[in-house]
A and B are shown apart, each in its own frame.
Chain A
Amino acid sequence: MPMRQTKLWKFFSSIKLAIWLLAIICALSLIGTFIAQNEEPAFYISRYGQYGYSLLLKTGLADVYNSWWFILPLVMISLNLMACILNRLSFKGRQLGTFICHVSVLVILTGALIGMVYGQKGYMKINKAEEAGSFEVGKKHVDLGFSVRLDDFIYNESIDPKEKLSVYDGKLIAEIPTAVGAEQEIAGTGYKVKILRYLPDFVMDMSTKEASSRSTNANNPAIQVELKGKDGFQDKFWVFARYPDMHQSIKSNYKFVYNWVGRRPKDFISKVTIIKGGREMISRDIRVNSPVKFQGYIFFQHNYDQERLNWTGLKVVKDPGVGVVYLGFILFILGLSIRFYISPLLRRE
Chain B
Amino acid sequence: MYSILLNVAFAAYFLAMVFYFLEVFFNHKALLFLARAFVFCAVACLTAYTAMRWHIAGRPPLSDMFESLVIFSWAIGLVLLFIDLRYKIKSISSLVALMGLLALGYASFLDKEIAPLVPALKSNWLTIHVLTCFIGYSALTVGFVSGLIILFKKDEIVKLDTVSYKIIAFGFLFLTMGIITGAVWANSAWGTYWSWDPKETWSLITWFIYAIYLHTRLVKGWKGQKAAWLAVIGFLAMLFTYFGVNYLLSGLHSYA
Contact = CB atoms under 8 A, between A and B. Distances in A.
A85 to B, nearest CB: 14
Contacts of B177: 333
Nearest to B248: A34
Contact of B208 (A22, A64, A317): A22
Interface string A125-159: 00000000000000000000000000000000010
A33 B190 contact: no
A32 B173 contact: no
B211 A22 contact: yes
Interface in A253-278: 264-268
A65 interface: yes
A26 interface: yes
A332 B205 CA distance: 18
On chain A, which size bracket covers the interface?
A: 35 or more
Contacts of A332: 176, 180
A26 B209 contact: yes
B152 to A, nearest CB: 26
Given A26-B209, A329-B184, A317 B176 contact: no
A319 to B, nearest CB: 8
Interface in B223-256: 245, 249-250
Nearest to B124: A289
A199 B203 CA distance: 41
A345 to B, nearest CB: 14
A26 B233 CA distance: 12
B183 A329 contact: yes
Which DSSP category, helix, strand, loop or mixed, fits chain B's interface?
helix
B119 A288 contact: yes
Contact of B192 (A26, A34, A317): A317
A25 B206 CA distance: 12
Contacts of A266: 116, 119
Where chain A touches its partner, the secondary structure class is helix
A340 B245 CA distance: 30
B212 interface: yes
A192 interface: no
A15 B220 CA distance: 8
A22 B212 contact: yes
A34 B249 contact: yes
A265 B118 contact: yes
Contacts of A268: 119
B189 interface: yes
A313 B198 CA distance: 24
B205 A29 contact: yes
A333 B173 contact: yes
Interface string A79-123: 000000000000000000000000000000000100000000100
B113 to A, nearest CB: 9
A300 interface: yes
Nearest to A112: B194
B162 to A, nearest CB: 13
B180 to A, nearest CB: 5
Given A19-B216, A322-B187, A322-B193, A30 B205 contact: yes
A234 interface: no
B184 A326 contact: yes
11 contacts: A22-B212, A23-B212, A26-B208, A29-B205, A37-B196, A64-B196, A264-B115, A290-B188, A301-B119, A315-B191, A337-B173
Pick the 9 closest A-B CB pairs, nearest first: A158-B116, A288-B119, A317-B191, A33-B198, A300-B191, A289-B123, A65-B196, A329-B180, A15-B219
Interface of B: 115-116, 118-120, 122-123, 169-170, 172-173, 176-177, 180, 183-184, 187-194, 196, 198, 201-202, 204-205, 208-209, 211-212, 215-216, 219-220, 245, 249-250
